[in-house]
Amino acid sequence: MVLPKLLLLPLLAAGSAAVDISVSSSGGNKTSNIQYGIMEEEINHCGDGGLYAELIRNRAFQGGSEFPSSLDAWTSVNDATLSLKQLSNPLSSALPNSVNVKAAKGDKETGLANEGWWGIDVRRQKYTGSFYVKGSYKGVFKASLKSITSGETFATAHVDSKSVEDDWVQHRFTLMPRKDASNTNNTFSITFDPRHTKDGSLDFNLISLFPPTWNDRPNGLRRDLMQAMKDMGPKFLRFPGGNNLEGQTLPGRWKWNETIGPLKDRPGRATTWKYQETSGLGLVEYMEWCEDLEVEPIVAVWGGFALNGDAIPESELGPYVQDALDELEFLTGSVDTKFGALRAKVGHPEPWKVKYVEVGNEDNLNGGLESYKSYRFRMFHDAIKEKYPDIQILASTVDMTLPEKAGGDYHLYDIPDNFVSKFNFFDQYSPDNPVLLGEIAATQFNGEDINWDDTDFALYPWWIGSVAEAVFMIGAERSPALLGTTYAPFMMNLDNYQWSPTNLAFNADPSKTARSTSWHIYELFSHNHITTTLPTKSSVDFGPLYYIAGKDEDTNSHIFKAAVYNSTAEVPVSLSFDGVKSGSTAQLTVLTAPDAYSMNEVGQRDLVDRRVEQITAGEKGVFEFELPDLSVAVLKTDS
Ligand SMILES: *[C@@H]1O[C@H](CO)[C@@H](O)[C@H](O)[C@H]1NC(C)=O
Ligand SMILES: *[C@@H]1O[C@H](CO)[C@@H](O)[C@H](O)[C@H]1NC(C)=O
Ligand SMILES: *[C@@H]1O[C@H](CO)[C@@H](O)[C@H](O)[C@H]1NC(C)=O
Ligand SMILES: *[C@@H]1O[C@H](CO)[C@@H](O)[C@H](O)[C@H]1NC(C)=O
Predicted confidence at residue 16, as pLDDT, reads 63
Residue nearest to ligand 4 atom 11, measured at CA: 28
| Ligand 2 cavity residues, CB under 6 Å | 255, 257-258, 323
Cα(521) to ligand 3 centroid in Å equals 21
Q: Which ligand is nearest to the CA of 185?
A: 1
Cα(490) to ligand 2 centroid in Å equals 29
Cα 550 to Cα 469: distance, rounded to the nearest angstrom: 20
CA 453 to chain centre: 24
Atom of ligand 3 nearest to the CA of 417: 13
From 255, 269, 330, the mutation candidate for ligand 2 (largest count of ligand atoms within 8 A of CB) is 255
Contact 211, 226 (CB under 8 A): no
Cα 446 to Cα 325: distance, rounded to the nearest angstrom: 44
Spatial strand order in the sheet of 408-414: 408-414, 435-442, 482-487
Cα(13) to ligand 3 centroid in Å equals 19
Residue nearest to ligand 2 atom 10, measured at CA: 257
- Please enumerate in sequence order all residues whose Cβ is within 8 A of that of 370, keeping only pairs 6 or more positions apart, or say none: none
- Please enumerate in sequence order all residues whose Cβ is within 8 A of that of 346, keeping only pairs 6 or more positions apart, or say none: 260, 261, 284
Residue 302, SS3 per DSSP: coil
Cα(119) to ligand 1 centroid in Å equals 9
Cα(257) to ligand 2 centroid in Å equals 6
417 close to ligand 3 (CB < 6 Angstrom): yes
User: What stretch of H or E contains 615?
Assistant: strand 609-616
Other beta carbons less than 10 A from residue 394's beta carbon: 28
- According to DSSP, the residues that pair with 110 across neighbouring strands are 192
The percentage of the chain sitting over the pLDDT mark of 70, rounded to a whole number, equals 97
CA 268 to chain centre: 19
Predicted confidence at residue 455, as pLDDT, reads 64
Residue nearest to ligand 1 atom 3, measured at CA: 149
185-207 burial, b if ≥16 CB within 10 A, otherwise e? bbbbbbbbbbeebeebbbbbbbb
Atom of ligand 2 nearest to the CA of 322: 5
Predicted confidence at residue 266, as pLDDT, reads 98
Predicted confidence at residue 464, as pLDDT, reads 98
Q: Which ligand is nearest to the CA of 482?
A: 4
From 419, 446, 546, 630, the mutation candidate for ligand 3 (largest count of ligand atoms within 8 A of CB) is 446
183 close to ligand 3 (CB < 6 Angstrom): no
Cα(3) to ligand 3 centroid in Å equals 20
Cα(538) to ligand 4 centroid in Å equals 15
Distances (CA, A) of 257 to 237, 250, 360, 556: 20, 16, 17, 46
Q: Identify the DSSP state of 377.
A: H
H helix and E strand count, the chain: 11, 33
Instruction: Give which of 298, 292, 297 is closest to 230, Cα–Cα.
Output: 292
From 31, 422, 427, 532, the mutation candidate for ligand 4 (largest count of ligand atoms within 8 A of CB) is 427
Cα 391 to Cα 301: distance, rounded to the nearest angstrom: 13
Cα(273) to ligand 4 centroid in Å equals 39
From 257, 323, 338, the mutation candidate for ligand 2 (largest count of ligand atoms within 8 A of CB) is 257
What would you report as the CA-atom Rg of the chain, rounded to the nearest whole angstrom? 27
Cα 127 to Cα 211: distance, rounded to the nearest angstrom: 5
Cα(25) to ligand 4 centroid in Å equals 14
Other beta carbons less than 10 A from residue 475's beta carbon: 23
Cα(566) to ligand 3 centroid in Å equals 6
Question: How is the chain split into domains, by residue range?
Answer: 74-210
Q: Can you list the residues of the chain whose pLDDT is less than 50? A: 1-15
Instruction: Give which of 392, 394, 421, 430 is closest to 410, Cα–Cα.
Output: 394
Distances (CA, A) of 351 to 240, 255, 393, 451: 19, 20, 20, 44
From 437, 479, 483, 548, the mutation candidate for ligand 4 (largest count of ligand atoms within 8 A of CB) is 479
Q: Which ligand is nearest to the CA of 31?
A: 4
Atom of ligand 3 nearest to the CA of 418: 13
Predicted confidence at residue 530, as pLDDT, reads 98
- Please enumerate in sequence order all residues whose Cβ is within 8 A of that of 365, keeping only pairs 6 or more positions apart, or say none: none
Cα 299 to Cα 325: distance, rounded to the nearest angstrom: 12
Q: Which ligand is nearest to the CA of 30?
A: 4
Predicted confidence at residue 449, as pLDDT, reads 78
Prediction pTM value: 0.96
Predicted confidence at residue 5, as pLDDT, reads 41
| β pairing state of 110-114 and 408-414 | unpaired
Would you identify the CATH topology of the domain 74-210?
A: Jelly Rolls (2.60.120)
Contact 309, 370 (CB under 8 A): no
- Arithmetic mean of pLDDT over the chain: 96
